[in-house]
Chains A and B, each alone.
Chain A
Amino acid sequence: MTTLISQLINLFAAVILMLSFAMLAQRRILSLIHLFALQGLAVVGATTVVAYVTDQHHLYYSAALTLALKVFLIPWLLHRLIDRLNVRWDIETLINIPSTMLIGIVLVVFAFNLALPISQLSAAITRGTLGIALASVLLSFMMMIIRSKAVPQVIGFLAMENGLFFAATSATHGMPMVVELGIALDVLVGVFILGVFMFQIREQFDSLDIRHLENLKED
Chain B
Amino acid sequence: MSLSSIFSQFLAIVAALLLAPLLMGWVNQWRAWFGNRSGAGLLQPYRMLHKLFHKESVVAESASPLFRFAPYVIFGCMLLASAIVPTLSTDLPLAPAADAIALVGLFALARIFISLAAMDIGTAFGTLGARREMLIGFLAEPALLTVLFTASLIGQSTSLSTIVETLAHKQFAIHPSLAFAGIAFTFVSFAENARVPVDNPATHLELTMIHEALILEYSGRHLALIEWAAALKLFAYSCIGLALFFPWGIAEAQAPLAMLFALPALVFKLATGGFLLALIETLSAKMRIFRVPEFLATAFLLAVIGMLTHILLGA
Contact = CB atoms under 8 A, between A and B. Distances in A.
Contact of A108 (B172, B294, B305, B315): B305
Contacts of A112: 308, 311-312
A11 B297 contact: no
A115 B174 CA distance: 22
Contacts of A108: 305, 308
A177 interface: no
B176 interface: yes
A19 to B, nearest CB: 12
Interface stretch (A73-81, A94-102, A181-189): A94-102
Interface string A1-31: 0011001101101110110010001000000
Given A98-B297, A101-B297, A108-B308, A11 B174 contact: yes
B302 A18 contact: yes
Contact of A128 (B301, B304, B312): B312
Majority SS at the chain A contact face: helix
Majority SS at the chain B contact face: helix
Nearest to B173: A7
A194 interface: no
A25 B298 contact: yes
B294 A17 contact: no
Q: Name the residue among A13, A14, A15, A101 with the largest chain B CB count within 10 angstroms.
A: A14
A18 B309 CA distance: 11
A10 B315 CA distance: 8
A97 B174 contact: no
Contact of B304 (A11, A25, A105, A132): A105
A128 B313 CA distance: 5
Interface in B170-186: 172-177, 179-180, 183
A152 interface: no
A86 to B, nearest CB: 25
Interface in B235-294: 293-294
Q: Name the residue among B174, B311, B312, B315 with the largest chain A CB count within 10 angstroms.
A: B312
B298 A13 contact: no
Contact of B174 (A7, A105, A129): A7
B314 interface: yes
A13 B314 CA distance: 13
B305 A10 contact: no
B176 A13 contact: yes
Given A7-B173, A14-B179, A105 B305 contact: yes
Contacts of B293: 98
A171 to B, nearest CB: 15
A129 B302 CA distance: 18
B208 to A, nearest CB: 22
Contacts of B173: 3-4, 7
B259 to A, nearest CB: 30
A67 to B, nearest CB: 22
Interface in A106-124: 108-109, 112, 115-116
Contacts of A8: 174
A21 B305 contact: yes
A97 B299 CA distance: 12
A4 B315 CA distance: 11
B198 to A, nearest CB: 16
Nearest to B171: A3
A147 to B, nearest CB: 17
Given A97-B294, A98-B293, A14 B309 contact: yes
A109 B179 contact: no
Given A98-B294, A128-B313, A105 B176 contact: no
Contacts of A131: 312
B254 to A, nearest CB: 28
A15 B179 contact: yes
A128 B294 contact: no
Interface string A127-165: 011011000000000000000000000000000000000
A129 B309 CA distance: 9
Interface of B: 172-177, 179-180, 183, 293-294, 297-298, 301-302, 304-305, 308-309, 311-315
3 A-B pairs with least C-beta separation: A14-B176, A98-B297, A7-B174
Given A15-B179, A101-B297, A132-B309, 4 more contacts: A17-B305, A18-B183, A21-B305, A128-B313
18 contacts: A7-B173, A7-B174, A10-B176, A10-B313, A13-B176, A14-B180, A14-B313, A15-B176, A21-B302, A21-B305, A97-B294, A98-B293, A98-B294, A101-B301, A105-B301, A105-B305, A108-B305, A112-B308
